[in-house]
């Protein structure tokens, strides 16, 4: 058993379960034994190893609770089509978008996907993300969805980062089911979900509940079927249009309703009444060049707990840096920086049901820790174009040094 001490910490910013709020402590140290934080306090004893934080900021590692990282290529051609005036949904209707990624993924070997996903996970770690939720959803047939989840499982076993797998067969309707959408919903419910559950390779079940994609009835059926098979529901809701997805989220008591750019007052009330976490993805709004960000302040006023995540994917958001997502949250959603850290650590971990293990720097939690090269949190959103993280500890082990 070896121990590690982090000393000369300028400020330690974390959620505290004791006070149920974010705290900022000075002159504290922490001791890690193997992969666990065993003590946080003043003037602690010696340890086998020492890291000098040089009076800089220390925070928990980011928990990115919404990503779509299992794909072959990025889709910059579509980015440029959007710049010339085409809309995200128009591009998708013309064979671009999710179906474009799906064609490539179906033909890709598992080995190729493993190497692609592995290097994306390297980048996440470098940006300080120590836990990442990963969705399937570019396969859209049973074999390719299982292949995607198997890739997540295999990379998770070989990589330092922790990956939390979500089945998202309901990401779009594949071409062969274009004119028989309910038959695809049947395929998801009678074949994909049972096999995913049998293989035990997904924790959550997600649906793109959106105009032109999965309607309320289809989404409800898919999420309830998943639930019966032990897959916990989460949902893409009110991203481009508002027709009741947040109310469905509340009705089904999903773990998290995500996107919410177009959520209305009654949707906000529904989430608040059932204590559903709202996961906001400002990177997508920004990347798509849209003006209307999710109404963070309205959600907050009504008491909805808010997580923020990257939504990293090849179409609507090629952003992996949570530091940048924090900046966007502050500028465009008027989030206060401490709230932004809370949303991207403890609340995000709660939305993945792992808040007993990660998301804060407290005794007994995993030592997933960031040492920054700045003394306090105010500099995070201000220095927009710099990765200001000096050192990433995952399970108490340095996995990235600037």
Residue closer to ligand NIG by CB (options 135, 342) is: 135
Query: Beta strand 21-25 with 3-16: parallel, antiparallel or unpaired?
Result: antiparallel
284: partner contacted, choices Fe ion, ligand NIG, none (Cβ within 5-8 A by kind): ligand NIG
Binding window for ligand NIG (CB under 6 A); candidates: 56-64, 93-101, 106-114, 324-332? 93-101
Among 5, 120, 203, 236, binds ligand NIG (CB under 6 A): 236
206 binds ligand NIG per the rule CB under 6 A: no
Of 304, 391, 281, the closest CA to residue 350 belongs to 304
Q: Following DSSP, what letter does each residue of 157-220 receive, concatenated?
A: HHSSSEEEEEEEEETS--GGGTT-HHHHHHHIIIIIHHHHHHHT--SEEEEEBSTTSB-HHHHH
Q: What sign for the dihedral angle of Cα 227, 135, 257, 171?
A: negative
101: partner contacted, choices ligand NIG, Fe ion, none (Cβ within 5-8 A by kind): ligand NIG
Q: Are 239 and 267 in contact (CB under 8 A)?
A: no
Q: Are 366 and 37 in contact (CB under 8 A)?
A: yes
Among 14, 166, 279, 313, binds ligand NIG (CB under 6 A): 313
393: partner contacted, choices Fe ion, ligand NIG, none (Cβ within 5-8 A by kind): none
The CB density around residue 313, as the number of other CB atoms within 10 Å, is 27
Among 311, 339, 355, 368, binds Fe ion (CB under 5 A): 311
Residue closer to Fe ion by CB (options 53, 276) is: 276
In the complex, least distance from residue 83 CB atom to ligand NIG, rounded to whole angstroms:
16
Q: Which residues are CB-contacts of 258 (< 8 A; sequence separation ≥ 6)?
A: 66, 206, 234, 235, 236, 237, 278, 279, 280, 281, 309, 311
Residue closer to ligand NIG by CB (options 138, 400) is: 138
**Rounded Cα gap, residues 347 and 364, in angstroms:** 18
Binding window for ligand NIG (CB under 6 A); candidates: 45-53, 95-103, 266-274, 324-332? 95-103
| Residues touching ligand NIG, count (CB under 6 A) | 13
- Where on the chain is the footprint of ligand NIG (CB under 6 A)? 68, 97-98, 101, 208, 236, 239, 284, 311, 313-316
- Where on the chain is the footprint of Fe ion (CB under 5 A)? 311
């Amino acid at each position: 058993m070896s121990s590690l001490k982090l000393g000369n910490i300028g400020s330690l910013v974390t959620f505290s379960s004791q006070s149920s709020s974010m705290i900022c402590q000075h002159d504290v140290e922490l001791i890690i034994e193997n992969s666990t934080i065993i003590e946080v306090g003043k003037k602690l004893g010696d340890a086998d190893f020492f890291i000098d934080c040089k009076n800089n900021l220390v925070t928990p590692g980011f928990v990115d609770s919404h990503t779509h990282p299992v794909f072959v290529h990025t889709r910059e051609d579509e980015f440029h089509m959007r710049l010339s005036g085409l809309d995200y949904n128009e591009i998708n209707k013309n064979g671009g978008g999710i179906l474009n990624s799906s064609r490539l993924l179906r033909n890709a070997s598992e080995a190729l996907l493993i190497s692609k996903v592995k290097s994306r996970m390297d980048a996440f770690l470098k940006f300080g993300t120590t836990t990442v939720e990963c969705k399937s959803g570019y396969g859209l047939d049973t074999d390719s969805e299982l292949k995607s989840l198997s890739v997540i499982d295999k990379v998770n076993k070989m990589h330092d980062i922790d990956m939390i797998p979500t089945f998202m067969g309901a990401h779009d309707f594949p071409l062969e089911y274009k004119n028989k959408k309910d038959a695809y919903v049947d395929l998801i419910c009678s074949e994909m979900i049972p096999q995913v559950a049998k293989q035990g390779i997904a924790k959550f079940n997600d649906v793109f509940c959106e105009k032109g994609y999965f309607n309320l009835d289809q989404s409800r059926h898919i999420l309830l079927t998943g639930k019966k098979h032990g897959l916990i529901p989460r949902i893409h809701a009110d991203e481009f249009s508002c027709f009741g997805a947040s109310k469905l989220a509340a009705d089904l008591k999903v773990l998290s309703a995500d996107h919410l750019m177009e959520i209305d007052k009654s949707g906000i009330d529904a989430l608040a009444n059932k204590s559903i976490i709202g996961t906001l993805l400002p990177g997508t709004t920004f990347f798509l060049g849209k003006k209307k960000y999710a109404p963070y302040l309205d959600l907050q006023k009504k008491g909805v707990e808010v997580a923020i995540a990257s939504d990293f994917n090849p179409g609507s958001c090629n952003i992996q840096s949570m530091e940048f997502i924090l900046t966007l949250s502050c500028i465009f959603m008027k989030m206060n920086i401490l709230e932004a850290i809370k949303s991207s650590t403890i609340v995000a971990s709660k939305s993945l049901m792992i808040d007993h293990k990660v998301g804060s720097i407290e005794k007994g939690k995993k030592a997933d820790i960031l040492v920054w090269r700045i003394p306090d949190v105010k500099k995070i959103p201000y220095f927009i174009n710099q990765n200001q993280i000096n050192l990433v500890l995952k399970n108490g082990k340095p996995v990235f040094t600037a």
